[in-house]
Amino acid sequence: MLWGRAAEEAAVAETVTSAARGAGGALLLRGGPGVGKSALLEHAGATVPRGMRVLRAAGAEPEQAMAFAALHQLLLPVTGRLESLPGPQRGAVRGALGLSQAPSDARFLVAAGVLSLLGEVAADGGGLLCLLDDVQWFDRASLDVLLFAARRLADDRVAMLFAMRADSGAVVRDVPELRIGDLDPESAAAMLAERAGRGSGRGAGRGSGRESGPEPAPVPAPVAAPVAAPVAAPVRARIVALTGGNPLALAEAAELLTADQLAGRAPLPDPLPVGPTLFGDQVARLPGTARPVLLAAAAEGRGDLDLVLRAAGRLGGDPAGLEAAEAAGLVEVAGARLRLRHPLVRSAVYAAASPSERRRAHASLAEELSRAGDEDRSAWHRAAAATGRDAEVADALAALAGRASERGGYADAAAALARSADLTPDPAVRARRLADAATAAWLGGRPGQAESHLAEARELAGTAGTAGATGAAGTTGAAGAAGPSLLAELTRLRGRFELNRGDADEARRLLQDGAERVRAHDPALALGLLADASEAAGMVGDTAAIVDLGRRAEGLPEGFTRQVVAGIGAMLDGDAGRGGALLRDALRAADGLDDAAGLLWAAAAASHLGEADASAGLAVRAGRVARHSGMAGQLPVVLEFVATAERFGGRFALSAAVADEGLALAREAGYTNSVAAHLANLAAVAAVRGHEDDCARLAREALEIAIPHRLGLRVSVATYALGLLDLGMGRFAAAHARFEGLVTAGPGAGHPASVWRSTPDRVEAAVACGETDAARAAVTAYERWSVHAQTAQSRALLLRCRALLEEEDKALALYEEALRLHAADGDSPFETARTRLLYGERLRRTQRAGDARSPLRAAEEAFARLGAAPWARRAREELRAAGERAVPEAEPDALNRLTPQELRIARLVAEGAANRDVAARLFLSPRTVEYHLYKIYPKLGISSRTELARLVAPLG
């Protein structure tokens, strides 16, 4: 029975029953020790709806650093279902559980695989309940994976209940939280009375708070038939006050106080023998052979009875000692498992043992685990037993970290590497391991830890000298050398960290300085640093820096990266002939690229050649490669460019869907600057759709990150979004002012690419508000930008800009040629519709209203299909002015009725991906994909994948 927990029971029951009905979810129970979190979990497990399966895992403090230990505990009963998962997810989960080799960069794949596996198990019967106790002691990899799944359970019949100590520093985002406090006085009194009614005095003569002698007597077994002990009202009130209503303390008081004490005939002990006082006193009274058993159990943490007894035997413990500890109520034995009664027992055992006794316990466990072939757990116990630096133990931890990283347990690999560095005698090897720890912590979503490890590594590397380091292999193979190369690599890490979540200009400075340090003796590393620095300068929008970096790259080894970096620099320096040739050569090499990073550099090359549509296509290819390769760690950044590319292609619903996904993943990974990028892109989509409030909010949120981080590219996109909103709403002067502001904005506040891409919008706004001189200057600059562009779309946009400034006959001819180019290339439907709109407006103003209606009608229908409401409204108004009396409002494309998740699924299905492949690429469960497809078909009025492919094909 649970006392005083009606509200908590109801909240737990709602989570569980909702999952049984098909609406999965999670709930976090947070409270202090002894308040009954575990009791609530057990109650939930005992009262599940018929047919619902229950899986359990409980955190153990000694296993906090063992990657995926808690996940292994939870999933062990259902590993037989792994074969039902999509291939990439199956491989990642098997690798995490140590059942096979894991794919690289598997962090999100493991999480998606676990979500899929839970969904499959839930579908077997009446759902699934996961009871996750003491999650403050879960290893980081397991907790990250389970929280990822918990945030995505809406379409699966899975409930997850987490229980966590209130004083835990673990961060749990986006999971509803229920605070569990102590009992109210009435409930506490009722619990005390009921427990005392079962009989008291189990600990009579013990736990009074008196100190014991040096040789404590054996503890007698509990009385076989306790006698009920009524509790006097004043005593009950006093005990409730002394315990604060803590259920554990109340239960202990009811069992340990004598009948006379409960009845008020004898005074209560002071302090009351509960909690740490109780357990510490009980541990102190155990016989000598029992304490080694308890210490081994406390150090082991997993509850392997055989291992505990073997390790305790080395310390002087024996089975009789186990029996004494069990009789005292400190441990519970069930088959081959041993469980400490409460986490406070472990604290009491550790407090009672000396440091040397603890080290001997860990050494004993390490020896036994090594004999059993469990080298990972053995390494951690050897580390706990170490005194001073120990190269052999440090090497073992570094090897363990390598295995954890291979399985996607980056945060736990970082912890192992940091401890390995602590134990490493050689400063150079220590610096290398701290650098690896920084990388692992970053990939594991712990940017603060990553920066701390990196700072320590830099300090060590700077003092370790230039001699070659010797030592065992860590996560990166040979330990490496402390000197310019290692310092440059550390600088590169620091610069990448800064670029992902800090000041982009500081990242540029760091990376450029690092390149100069190694230019003479490691030109390949120098080129990599210069490329990263150019990327950072591009984020800032610092043209002078990009030009300078391009010049520096020209003296380094030839190849694709050098051509792009040098070519972009030359283009921005005004040397379009040399820059265009370098970039064109780089693009010819791009056909054979199969890595996302290379394709994004190719997209940048196309962009600087003025070919926005080719650039967009390369960015979309990069996204496909990233999904296929499982490049999950960098996927939020890749999706920035994919979402932008889809927007440039006029695929606004898909752009928003991709950005929505990228935003969620960026927040998961801690990539703050990527968050700004996705917010800015979403603001631009909202502008096209005429969603004023959303556009303003998203742009504001993007600017709040981008301005202090000097992300000129993201500042300019957010500003452009506001200008595009004004243009669509007919506020031409306001739009012109915003676009002109982009031209004059300096590094950190603007970007040349945004100036170029927004020029057609700027020309249109300037002409509409009478600023023809500004429009002519913009067109002249645009011609220079587009001189090397070879795609039909780029030429069509230039012709449209010229047409806006020409007299009637010449303007009409330019519009017609632009439309011919649009049609020939099959490019962005949005830009085609805008050209038709402007053409129709010019026809009407030249008294050719009848001719104007056809392009205006086509423009209105296209805008309506795309969801570009303000533009559709403008086209309808022009149609009416052209004499068309009844202008029915065209229907939006059916795809605009899909949610972002549904649209992402529809796009991949239309490309021919099977449900399991879609699940793997979008980090979903196959059942979630099936669930959404069942909703997608009726929304679109179709019934097959073939029809879906035909409908989505126009999206590119």
Q: Concatenated DSSP letters for 806-829?
A: S-HHHHHHHHHHHHHHHHHHT--H
Separation between Cα atoms, residue 23 and residue 155, nearest integer Å: 6
- State whether 98 and 166 are in the same domain: yes
**691 part of a folded domain:** no
Closest CA to 725 of 869, 899, 876, 892: 869
DSSP annotation string for 10-21: HHHHHHHHHHHT
**941 part of a folded domain:** yes
Residue 70 three-state SS: helix
Run of H or E including 57:
strand 53-58
- The Cβ-side half-sphere exposure at 449, using a 13 Å CA radius, reads 23
pLDDT of amino acid 222: 39
Q: ∠605-611-613 over CA atoms, to 5°?
A: 110
Give the residue-averaged pLDDT of 154-178.
85
Q: Which two tokens stand for residue 8?
A: 């908590």
What is the residue type of 949?
Answer: A
* pLDDT surpassing 50 at residue 226: no
Q: How many CB atoms lie within 10 A of CB 851?
A: 16
What is the residue type of 908?
Answer: L
Write out pLDDT tens, residues 890-916.
667 777 788 888 888 988 888 888 888
- State whether 459 and 320 are in the same domain: no
Separation between Cα atoms, residue 651 and residue 645, nearest integer Å: 9
- DSSP-based helix, strand, coil % in the chain, nearest 5: 70, 5, 30
Contact 336, 305 (CB under 8 A): yes
Residue-averaged pLDDT of the chain: 85
Give the residue-averaged pLDDT of 816-840.
90
Residue 797 three-state SS: helix
> Of 652, 670, 688, which residue is a domain's last?
670
Dihedral of the CA atoms 143, 144, 148, 151 (nearest 10)?
60
- State whether 882 and 923 are in the same domain: no
**914 part of a folded domain:** yes
Cα Rg, the chain, nearest whole Å: 34
Q: CB neighbours of 691 closer than 8 A, spacing ≥ 6?
A: none
Write out pLDDT tens, residues 370-404.
998 888 889 999 999 998 899 999 999 999 998 88
The band of 919, judged by pLDDT with boundaries at 50, 70 and 90, is confident
**493 part of a folded domain:** yes
Q: Which two tokens stand for residue 75?
A: 């999933």
The band of 106, judged by pLDDT with boundaries at 50, 70 and 90, is low
- State whether 450 and 400 are in the same domain: yes
Write out pLDDT tens, residues 437-491.
998 888 777 777 888 899 899 888 876 544 343 333 344 433 344 567 788 888 8
> Of 365, 385, 405, which residue is a domain's last?
385
Contact 530, 549 (CB under 8 A): yes
- State whether 470 and 503 are in the same domain: no
Give the residue-averaged pLDDT of 630-634.
58
Separation between Cα atoms, residue 622 and residue 638, nearest integer Å: 7
Share of the chain above pLDDT 90, in %: 40
Give the residue-averaged pLDDT of 321-328.
88
Phi first, then psi: what are they for 333, rounded to 5°?
A: -115, 130
Which CATH number is 18's domain given? 3.40.50
* pLDDT surpassing 90 at residue 792: no
Write out pLDDT tens, residues 276-303.
666 777 788 888 888 899 999 988 888 8
Q: Which two tokens stand for residue 591?
A: 């056909």
Q: Which two tokens stand for residue 407?
A: 């399985």
Q: How far apart are the first and last CA of the chain?
A: 61
Supply the DSSP symbol for 225.
S
Separation between Cα atoms, residue 363 and residue 383, nearest integer Å: 9
Residue 289 three-state SS: coil
The band of 771, judged by pLDDT with boundaries at 50, 70 and 90, is very high
- Asked if the peptide bond before residue 271 counts as cis, ω within 30 degrees of 0, the response is yes
> Of 268, 284, 300, which residue is a domain's last?
284
Question: Please, what is the angle between helix 290-300 and helix 319-327, to 10°?
Answer: 80
Separation between Cα atoms, residue 494 and residue 84, nearest integer Å: 41
Contact 13, 159 (CB under 8 A): no
**726 part of a folded domain:** no
Convert 378-396 to b/e letters by CB count within 10 Å (16 or more is b).
bbbbbbbbbeeebbebbbb
Of 417-431, 782-796, 837-851, give the lowest mean pLDDT range: 782-796
- State whether 131 and 67 are in the same domain: yes
Contact 739, 723 (CB under 8 A): yes
Separation between Cα atoms, residue 843 and residue 123, nearest integer Å: 62
Give the residue-averaged pLDDT of 714-743.
96
Closest CA to 422 of 400, 439, 445, 398: 398
Separation between Cα atoms, residue 824 and residue 419, nearest integer Å: 62
pLDDT of amino acid 85: 85
Q: What is the dihedral sign for C-alpha 877, 878, 884, 887?
A: negative
Place of tokens 């950072």: 536
Separation between Cα atoms, residue 859 and residue 672, nearest integer Å: 38
Of 16-20, 628-632, 845-849, give the lowest mean pLDDT range: 628-632
β pairing state of 25-31 and 53-58 = unpaired
**645 part of a folded domain:** yes
Separation between Cα atoms, residue 399 and residue 842, nearest integer Å: 72
Closest CA to 740 of 702, 711, 781, 682: 781
What Cα–Cα distance (Å) separates residue 777 from each residue in 349, 674, 749, 782?
A: 80, 34, 22, 9
Write out pLDDT tens, residues 53-83.
999 999 888 888 788 889 999 999 999 898 8
- State whether 243 and 368 are in the same domain: no
pLDDT of amino acid 869: 93
Separation between Cα atoms, residue 927 and residue 128, nearest integer Å: 14
pLDDT of amino acid 953: 58
Helices (H), 372-423: 375-385, 391-406, 410-423
Q: How many domains does the chain have?
A: 8
- State whether 457 and 560 are in the same domain: no
**269 part of a folded domain:** yes
Supply the DSSP symbol for 167.
T
Separation between Cα atoms, residue 868 and residue 829, nearest integer Å: 11
Q: E-strand spans in 107-264? A: 128-133, 158-165, 177-180
pLDDT of amino acid 103: 59
* pLDDT surpassing 60 at residue 788: yes
Q: Which domain holds residue 927?
A: 900-955
Question: Please, what is the angle between helix 915-922 and helix 900-910, to 10°?
Answer: 130
Contact 428, 481 (CB under 8 A): yes
Give the residue-averaged pLDDT of 500-525.
91
Separation between Cα atoms, residue 178 and residue 501, nearest integer Å: 31
Distance of CA 234 to the CA centre of its chain: 54
Distance of CA 852 to the CA centre of its chain: 51
Which CATH number is 411's domain given? 1.25.40
Q: How many CB atoms lie within 10 A of CB 666?
A: 26
Q: Is the pTM of this model over 0.85?
A: no
- State whether 12 and 158 are in the same domain: yes
- State whether 310 and 332 are in the same domain: yes
DSSP annotation string for 847-913: T-HHHHHHHHHHHHHHHHHHT-HHHHHHHHHHHHHTT-S--PPPPPPGGGGS-HHHHHHHHHHHTT-
- State whether 904 and 886 are in the same domain: no
* pLDDT surpassing 60 at residue 337: yes
Which CATH number is 927's domain given? 1.10.10.10
The band of 793, judged by pLDDT with boundaries at 50, 70 and 90, is confident
Write out pLDDT tens, residues 865-891.
899 999 999 999 999 999 887 667 766
Contact 772, 766 (CB under 8 A): yes
Place of tokens 């943490």: 301
Supply the DSSP symbol for 184.
P
**778 part of a folded domain:** no
Supply the DSSP symbol for 270.
S
- State whether 350 and 457 are in the same domain: no
